[in-house]
Structure 1
Amino acid sequence: MPDEPQPEQLPDVPEPPPFITGYAADEWWRTAPELHRLGLLTVVDIPALATYCHAFGQWRLASEALARMQSGDPVMHGLIIKSKIGDAVQNPLARPIRESAFFWSD
């Protein structure tokens, strides 16, 4: 409807916020230009995009760290590790991977 307020359209793809680095920045530059081209990146969308990109970056880092652990652990594949006191516990890297895995895939 023409009389409804609309968020401000950005003239260009914005730079990512300073905390968006590494894999998160790669995802920003993969996603933001396409959203902008489609007219879907407005000033109100930047925080949501930054949150997504940050989560994506954390997921990639955790996934790669777990993959390195898996290569040296043919039995538990890095999913179970020893705690400080020697008990078997779930690898803390598995949680962010599991919780965010349904959002994206390579």
Structure 2
Amino acid sequence: MPKPGTKPLPTKIKELRGGKNTYHRKPNKKEPQPETSDKVPKAPAYLSKVAQAEWRRMAKELHGVGLLTKVDIVALAAYCECFANWVDITVKLQRTGLYIKSPIKRDKSRMVDGKMVEGKILSGGNIVQSPLWAIKNRAELEMRKWMVEFGMTPSSRSNVQVTEKKKNDPLAEFMARGGKPVRVK
């Protein structure tokens, strides 16, 4: 998940400010580099329809810049499901409204002759914020955490370093196998 501390500034903002890199972090040269596949991976079958649509949209983009590897499939699926939940709750909020009338309000219950007696109905309740708001905010928070992991926010993108795909160089491959160049006369 996200690193503690100040979030790094996007490179574009640093350029606009005219400042040099204020963070003195050395890049991790021993960072593992999982294999990427040649094709964009298909969405897992267990994803909902909305999540599968988001998968198709994001997998293509992430694969294109080399950020989607074989080990990232479950993480991207988790992001897509968070996105689907967020969309579902947003649609429900649009239908039901941002506020609801609270349940019927009763006078306090009390004991009468050793039995619990419910209080009288006082009113039809108050207008309160819909509980869906809390669920939506939670889904949005989870979705944002996954977005940061994949560099899908402007500030997290400044931390992501995309490596260029190596082109096949026959001479480099030959030399890597221990071959020696031969002079041609």
Instruction: Name the larger-Rg structure.
Output: 2
Percent of aligned pairs with the same amino acid: 40
Over residues 55-105 of structure 1, what are the superposed CA-to-partner deviations in whole Å (9 max), with x where a residue is unaligned?
0000000000110111xxxxxxx334434877666533212312216838x
Decide whether aligned partners of structure 1 residues 66 and 39 sit closer, same or farther in structure 2, where only a CA change above 3 A counts.
same
Corresponding position of 2:135: 96
Conserved? CA contact 1:24–1:53, under 8 Å: yes
Decide whether aligned partners of structure 1 residues 5 and 52 sit closer, same or farther in structure 2, where only a CA change above 3 A counts.
closer
- Whole-angstrom distance in 2 between the partners of 1:81 and 1:58: 24
1:82 to 99, 102, 123: 102
1:69 to 82, 93, 96: 96
1:33 to 60, 64, 76: 60
Decide whether aligned partners of structure 1 residues 30 and 82 sit closer, same or farther in structure 2, where only a CA change above 3 A counts.
same
- Whole-angstrom distance in 1 between the partners of 2:47 and 2:101: 30
Aligned length: 96
- Whole-angstrom distance in 2 between the partners of 1:57 and 1:23: 5
Conserved? CA contact 1:79–1:94, under 8 Å: no
Decide whether aligned partners of structure 1 residues 19 and 82 sit closer, same or farther in structure 2, where only a CA change above 3 A counts.
farther
Decide whether aligned partners of structure 1 residues 27 and 4 sit closer, same or farther in structure 2, where only a CA change above 3 A counts.
closer
SS across alignment from 2:71: coil
Over residues 33-72 of structure 1, what are the superposed CA-to-partner deviations in whole Å (9 max), with x where a residue is unaligned?
01111111101111110000000000000000110111xx
What 5-or-longer segments of structure 1 have no aligned partner? 71-77
- Whole-angstrom distance in 1 between the partners of 2:102 and 2:57: 38
- Whole-angstrom distance in 2 between the partners of 1:52 and 1:4: 23
Normalising by structure 2, we get a TM-score of 0.44
RMSD (Å) for aligned C-alpha atoms: 2.7
Corresponding position of 1:58: 85
What 5-or-longer segments of structure 2 have no aligned partner? 1-28, 106-123, 148-185
Decide whether aligned partners of structure 1 residues 82 and 10 sit closer, same or farther in structure 2, where only a CA change above 3 A counts.
same
Decide whether aligned partners of structure 1 residues 96 and 10 sit closer, same or farther in structure 2, where only a CA change above 3 A counts.
farther
